[in-house]
Amino acid sequence: MPVISRLSAFRPARTVQRLPPRSAACPLSFRDLLAPAAELGLVLPLVRAPSAAVARGALVAAKALGSALGLALPRGGRPDRWFAEVTAAADEVAAGLPLLLAGEVVVAGEGALDVERAVSETWALVDAGLTHVSIDGGAVAAPERGRVLAEVAAPAVERGLGVDWIVPLEDASGAAPRAIAGLQALVRRGFRPDLAAVRCPAPADEAAARAQADTLARLALALRGTPVMRCGPVTPALLGALQGSPVRACEDGGAAEERAAVEPGATAPGEEAERREARAFAEVTDLVEGLGAAGSAAALVSGILRRHEERGP
């Protein structure tokens, strides 16, 4: 059986329902990628992709470098339309490449209406076919955070999708015990997120990059089994510092989106799309190479299939 078709069996059920028949796009849950990534010491690249052109440029770069890739829908976008555009591009230019399709839910507070709205947003991402949900509960009062985030995450957890909890920066930057307490509150509610995501500023220099990578590594060790994902603007020094660290994923901070912006004067729609795609390709190439993720796709596929065979039917 071809490796591509074997890997496609791991696509979440709702995702498969949203894909056209015979699609070779391979969106997976982060749950399937994390264990083999940890075994291999890989940091997975995640790219904010607000448009089909940015997504396509990112996919072409990842395919050329043989890297697994995460694509994130910015808040406010239509998840159903975005999923259709991104998976069509993946089917065309990155068939069989392990992908993560992520969306974010922000919980405005612990009130019933705020929670209901956030749960509805989670369902919208799940129903559209996305495979990972980020939950920002920073506005929720700490005593209620475990209850609220567990409720908001429930639709994704029930479908076997990956979920990350966005850790407030003040909880991660020098007060790991607060991050640990927050995680324990979630666990008491029966919800252990697949990752803890930390939004960070761009480091000012190489020393700051090493310091930030060390902080994230200490947090990852303190959280004892809950991997860490870094979000926010990156620098080449930071990407290098993250290689081989316990950090399991790194978002580009919108760099591909920003670089893909086209100056005024590019009037032809086709020309504009081509420029966006080319610039996104260049930015994502730098991201993948900087994280040392080139060649990660084949290694992850082998890891996923091996773990499945070891568990047996």
Give 112-155 pLDDT, tens digit per residue: 999 999 999 999 999 999 999 999 998 998 888 889 999 999 99
Cα 175 from Cα 274, distance rounded (Å) = 45
For residue 168, the model assigns a pLDDT of 65
Task: State whether the Cα torsion 252-256-259-263 is positive or negative.
Answer: negative
Q: Could you give the angle at which helices 112-128 and 79-93 cross, rounded to 10 degrees?
A: 30
Q: What ranges make up the beta strands (E) of 108-191? A: 132-136, 162-167
172-177 mean pLDDT: 59
Residue 163: which region, alpha, beta or left (left: phi > 0; alpha: psi -120 to 50)? beta
Distance separating the N- and C-terminal Cα atoms of the chain: 16
Q: Which residues pair with 95 in a beta bridge?
A: none
Interatomic CA distance for residues 105 and 132, integer angstroms: 11
Q: Please tell me the predicted confidence (pLDDT) of residue 2.
A: 43
Give the least confident one: 37-51, 80-94, 179-193. 179-193
Which of 69-73, 223-227, 265-269 has maximum average pLDDT?
69-73
31: which residues sit within 8 A by CB, 6+ positions away?
Answer: 160, 161, 162, 194
Q: Alpha carbon of 39 to those of 27, 167, 220, 312: distances in Å?
A: 21, 24, 15, 19
Position 98 scores a pLDDT of 95
- What average pLDDT does the segment 266-276 reach? 72
Say if residues 227 and 218 touch (Cβ distance below 8 Å).
no
Whether 220 has a pLDDT exceeding 90, the answer reads no
Mean pLDDT throughout 73-99? Answer: 94
In this predicted structure, what is the pLDDT of residue 172? 54
Give the integer Cα–Cα distance in Å for 160 and 30: 9
Q: Which of 64-73, 87-96, 244-253, 268-277 has the lowest mean pLDDT?
A: 268-277
Does residue 200 or residue 59 have the better pLDDT? Answer: 59
Q: At 205, is the pLDDT very low, low, confident or very high (cuts 50, 70, 90)?
A: very high
Write out the two tokens for 243: 């290689």
Residue bearing tokens 């448009």: 51
Spans of all domains in the chain: 3-261+269-311
Q: List the CATH code of the domain at 3-261+269-311.
A: 3.20.20.70
Q: What pLDDT, on the 0 to 100 scale, is given for residue 97?
A: 95
What does the pLDDT look like over 277-308, one tens digit per residue? 999 999 999 999 999 999 999 999 999 988 88
Both tokens of 22, joined, read 């015979």
Chain centre distance of CA 284: 14
Mean pLDDT of 38-47: 95
Taking residues 147-165, report their average pLDDT.
93
